[in-house]
Amino acid sequence: MGQTLSEKILSQHAGRTVNAGEFVVVEPDVVMSHDSLTPGIIKILRQELEMEKVRYPERLVFVFDHVAPASTVGTADSQNLARRFAQEQNIRLFDVGRGICHQVLVEERIAGPGKIVIGSDSHSTGYGSVGAFGTGMGSTDVALVWATGRTWLRVPETYRVVVEGRFPSGVDAKDLALKLCREITIDGANYMAVEYHGLDWMPLNGRQTLASMAVEMGAKAGIVPPTGLPGDQFPAPDWLTLDTDARYTQSLTVDLTRLEPQVSMPHAVDHVVDLSGVAGTRVDVVFLGTCTNGRYEDMKTAAGLLAGKRIAKNVRLIVTPASSRELSRAAADGTLAILLEAGATLTTPGCGMCMGRHQGTLGDGDVCLSTANRNFKGRMGSPNAQIYLASPAVAAATALTGAITDPRAC
Amino acid sequence: MNRVWKFGADVDTDQIVPGRYAPYMRPDADVGEAAFIEARPEFAKNARPGDVIVALENFGCGSSREYAVEALKRRKVGAIIALSFARIFYRNALNLGIPLFESPEIVEALQDGDEVTLDIPNRRVQCGEQVYLLPELPVFAQEILKAGGIVPYVRAYGRFPGEE
Ligand code: SF4
């Protein structure tokens, strides 16, 4: 009997063959936490576990992205506490401005094929973009990994997504991610891993968009087989291959050639329609950023539509690059200049307004079209704001007109 | 007697505690006061220790924020009974020692505002004359809850549930 990628990765780490439904205790290769929760995890370690030192400091990574740079005395103090802790224990820390945790760990090649990456963040599924088993956990679970080097997991069943064809122009990985939320629904892959097959041709950034949104269907992990990634940067262990006789609990085939631009409507990620169903909806703010769509390629796509034009008069276009590297890439080839000349506001690489804490928090009545992954009520600020989710191309086309617009019409 | 607070499907963690109310953002505030602060302000004001949350599918979806569970724990929520739970929430709730059950029968029977008596050790909820049996939890979940959460469990046994 063959195994799914999750079964293979968890078996390797458990030191025995395990299959869906079994419980395993494993040593994660990487344990990521960000500024929002690291101070609380330190508190659990010290006060509840009564420990001072983490077991394997070399496996820990801190990234400051959620409120970066600090916006209040409280966030500044918390960050300082985590900085001191990292320094004392020799923990790698990527400080404010470096970028979003999920982007940084991929750029730094800390996440890689066949690894187990635990993050204090639900979008840790994004590490599946490079063939890792990435999953999010709460602060207490993370504190226990710090303390013991281990964690327990239930080996998940796997939902297989088979992708056929290629994107028509104006349609990209975000539309596919939203389409999958639409088909599979917000809890259709609860407790499962999603495997994405047929994407050997897809560049890394598209894989990151897809894997980050696996959690929006409830998934524990979302893994794209690492085939087609540069092997020198993401060396895949020879056991990490697809078995033709692996057992998939469910399967869905998507034909990309017939995919339309998708838009998720307030206030649930799986409340998705073809763009034509909401075209013309007035928008106040367009947000281009996040671990789902804040990369160079996303800015480049937007620039392709905005070149030589100005955004609509009553629209704010806020661009938050996913990392300092992505910002540099956009600056180097003029992409950034195009966005700024079109009227975009640039903020520090990081999560930006995704969580409504700074750099563009929404007010009462604001309507936002965002390239992020979540549109829950109150997520980006006022509970009386409306959030639509779409691709970078839709975001740029919408910024131009001030209403939700099909990029293929621009 | 305790009150039933009934919710619909897909209650996300932004509804339980919005990210803007995280301890990181309000270090001096009691996160318990932020429980459902925008989605259900009466809960934030009136919930009493032992009250029961009843919900449809996928309760607790979205972010991994443990402070959503922490807020309910500080309000001393007696149990959460739903059709299903989102994965990370389920794990966080067990870790912090909040009993949670999946029971279509009870979810259908209990309505918002019902007064109930909860008896976790005997797995019973009583509403008026009706007594409902709470489903048996998986063994690992029972063990964690019995210890009072995952931290006391690991401190007591020096291992994770199911570990040799
Ligand atoms: S960009 Fe948004 S979704 Fe991604 S890690 Fe940051 S807050 Fe979470």
Task: Please check the confidence at residue B164 and state whether its pLDDT lies above 80.
Answer: no
Cα torsion B82, B87, B89, B92 to 10°: value is 120
Q: What is the largest CA-CA distance in chain B?
A: 46
d(CA B138, CA A391): 41
Contact A44 B151 (CB under 8 A): yes
CB of A336 closer than 6 angstroms to any ligand 1 atom: no
Q: What is the largest CA-CA distance in chain A?
A: 61
d(CA B23, CA B156): 28
DSSP string computed for A214-277:
GGGGT-SEEE---TTS-TTTSPPPTT----TT---SEEEEEEGGGPPPEEEPTT-TT-EEEGGG
- Mapping DSSP to helix (H, G, I), strand (E, B) and coil, where does residue B116 land? strand
Domains of chain A, start order: 5-254 (3.30.499.10), 262-409 (3.30.499.10)
- Identify all chain B residues contacting A49, using CB atoms and an 8 Å cutoff: 151, 154-155
Give the Å distance between the CA of A291 and the centre of ligand 1. 6
Contact A381 B20 (CB under 8 A): yes
- Identify all chain A residues contacting B15, using CB atoms and an 8 Å cutoff: 376-378
Q: Which two tokens stand for residue B49?
A: 């220790």
A13 in B contact zone (CB under 8 Å): no
Give the Å distance between the CA of A354 and the centre of ligand 1. 6
Determine the straight-line distance between the first and last CA of chain B, rounded to whole angstroms: 41
Beta strands A285-289 and A116-119 are unpaired
pLDDT tens digit at each of 410 positions of chain A: 899 999 999 999 999 999 999 999 999 999 999 999 999 999 999 999 999 999 999 999 999 999 999 999 999 999 999 999 999 999 999 999 999 999 999 999 999 999 999 999 999 999 999 999 999 999 999 999 999 999 999 999 999 999 999 999 999 999 999 999 999 999 999 999 999 999 999 999 999 999 999 999 999 999 999 999 999 999 999 999 999 999 999 999 999 999 999 999 999 999 999 999 999 999 999 999 999 999 999 999 999 999 999 999 999 999 999 999 999 999 999 999 999 999 999 999 999 999 999 999 999 999 999 999 999 999 999 999 999 999 999 999 999 999 999 999 98
**A369 vs A16, A282, A315, A399, CA distance in Å?**
47, 10, 11, 9
Q: Going edge to edge, which strands form the sheet with B100-102?
A: B100-102, B79-82, B52-55, B2-6, B115-119, B124-127, B130-133
**How is residue A44 annotated by DSSP?**
I
- Mapping DSSP to helix (H, G, I), strand (E, B) and coil, where does residue A102 land? helix
**A162 vs A204, A211, A250, A253, A379, CA distance in Å?**
18, 14, 11, 5, 31
Is the sign of the CA dihedral A116, A119, A124, A127 positive or negative? negative
A42 burial (CB, 10 Å; 0-12 / 13-18 / 19+) is buried
- Mapping DSSP to helix (H, G, I), strand (E, B) and coil, where does residue A376 land? coil
Task: Please check the confidence at residue B162 and state whether its pLDDT lies above 90.
Answer: no
Contact B96, A137 (CB under 8 A): no
Q: Which of A277, A292, A267, A262 is nearest to A386 (CA)?
A: A267
CA angle A198, A204, A209 (to 5 degrees): 85
Domains of chain B, start order: 2-157 (3.20.19.10)
Contact B61, B13 (CB under 8 A): yes
Q: Which of A119, A148, A152, A141 is nearest to B140 (CA)?
A: A152
Q: What is the pLDDT of residue A7?
A: 98
- Mapping DSSP to helix (H, G, I), strand (E, B) and coil, where does residue A158 land? strand
**How is residue B149 annotated by DSSP?**
S
**A173 vs A248, A292, A325, B55, CA distance in Å?**
23, 10, 21, 33
Contact A144 B151 (CB under 8 A): yes
Q: What is the pLDDT of residue A410?
A: 86
Which stretches of chain B are assigned E, i.e. beta strand?
A: 2-6, 52-55, 79-82, 100-102, 115-119, 124-127, 130-133
Q: What is the pLDDT of residue A375?
A: 97
Give the Å distance between the CA of B52 and the centre of ligand 1. 31
CB of A380 closer than 6 angstroms to any ligand 1 atom: no
Q: Using CB atoms, pick whichever of A36, A137, A152 lies closest to residue B161.
A: A152
A40 in B contact zone (CB under 8 Å): yes
Q: Using CB atoms, pick whichever of B19, B58, B96 lies closest to residue A187.
A: B58
